[in-house]
Structure formats: C-alpha cells, structure tokens
C-alpha cells in the first residue's frame, strides 16, 4: 500500500475490508485492491497477441523463477497480458513485461520453439535435461543454434513426441 498516495491508501483499505465482508482483509485481498488502483493510472496496454516478451519478476513473488524467461502474448487484457511460456500460461501485469520487439517471422519462430519445448518438458525428466530445456526458455534470441536444435530433436525422438 505504500506505493499509493495517502488518500488512495485509505480508499484501498476500505475497499479491502468491504471485500473481506467487514473483517480484517487478507494480504491477498489488499494486494489485489492496490493493484487495481495502480492499474487505473497506467497507460493503455499496447501489447499484441503473438508478441514475444521478457518476464520481469522483480517485486512479484508470483513470478518467482520466471524472471528472464520469455513468453508469447496469448491474450491482451486492459492492464495485463496472458503469456504462454514453455511450461504454462501466466497472467502478467504490464509492469512485469518487456517486449523483445521481434519481427513477425521471429515471433512465429519463438512460437514453434515454445511448442516444441512444451511437448518435451516434464518434471519426471532428469534434472540436467530439465535445466537444458529451462535454459532454452530464457534465450534472448529468436532461434536455436545448430547444437541446441540437435539436442532438442534428440529429446523429441527419445520422448517420442
């Protein structure tokens, strides 16, 4: 709540108490109310479906472990985007996204890479294989090197995707 102006802090607390049925609100309720108030003052969402973005996890514990990962915008909301990563979909506030400004062809390449990693990845894989796939999910380029491509192809054959 400290990110809000004093008047907004009071508004947020009263709204959170109201949402909690007149009781002391949970931290989650307060956080959601504060987020909504902060979003009202933000610029409009300019992201587009299929755009590739980097996830910025700073100050958002829900994105822990996703910082630096890339995601592909699958839904554009008013103050957030739903992004698909190699291991799931996440709704991410605009302040936690940064566009890579890829060309449409590069975005298509990233979609193919994302789909391939998603089909292969599983928590039952050996740790070293999981780490390799996770590292592909953090690439800061829109292509795989020759060796990365070969390794991913071997995994696809081995796992029979």
Q: HEC profile for 58-93?
A: CCCHHHCCCCCCEEEEEEECCCEEEEEECCEEEEEE
88: left (phi over 0), alpha (psi -120 to 50) or beta: left
pLDDT at 11: 87
What is the rounded average pLDDT of the residues 47-68? 90
Structure tokens at 155: 């995994």
- 156 has pLDDT over 90: yes
Q: Provide the β-strand partners of residue 98.
A: 54
Task: Check residue 79 and give its pLDDT.
Answer: 78
**Which tokens belong to 116?**
């391939």
- The percent of residues above 90 in pLDDT, for the chain, comes to 63
Asked whether the predicted pLDDT for residue 74 surpasses 90, the reply is: yes
Q: Write the pLDDT tens digit of every residue in 107-119.
A: 999 999 999 999 9
- DSSP code of 43? P
pLDDT score at 145: 97
- Distance (Å, rounded) from C-alpha 157 to C-alpha 15? 54
């Amino acid at each position: 709540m400290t990110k809000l102006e004093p008047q907004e802090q009071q508004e947020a607390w009263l709204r959170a108490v109201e949402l909690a049925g007149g009781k002391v609100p949970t931290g989650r309720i307060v956080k959601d109310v504060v987020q909504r108030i902060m979003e009202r003052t933000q610029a409009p969402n300019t992201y587009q479906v299929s755009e590739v973005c980097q996830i910025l996890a700073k100050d958002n514990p829900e994105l822990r472990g996703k910082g630096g990962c890339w995601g592909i915008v699958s839904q554009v909301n008013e103050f957030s985007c739903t992004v698909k990563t190699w291991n799931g979909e996440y709704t991410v506030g605009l302040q936690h996204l940064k566009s890579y400004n890829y060309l449409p062809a590069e975005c298509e390449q990233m979609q193919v890479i994302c789909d391939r990693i998603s089909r292969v990845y599983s928590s039952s894989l050996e740790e070293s294989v999981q780490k390799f796939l996770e590292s592909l999910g953090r690439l800061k380029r829109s292509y795989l090197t020759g060796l990365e491509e070969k390794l991913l192809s071997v995994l696809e054959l081995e796992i029979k995707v």
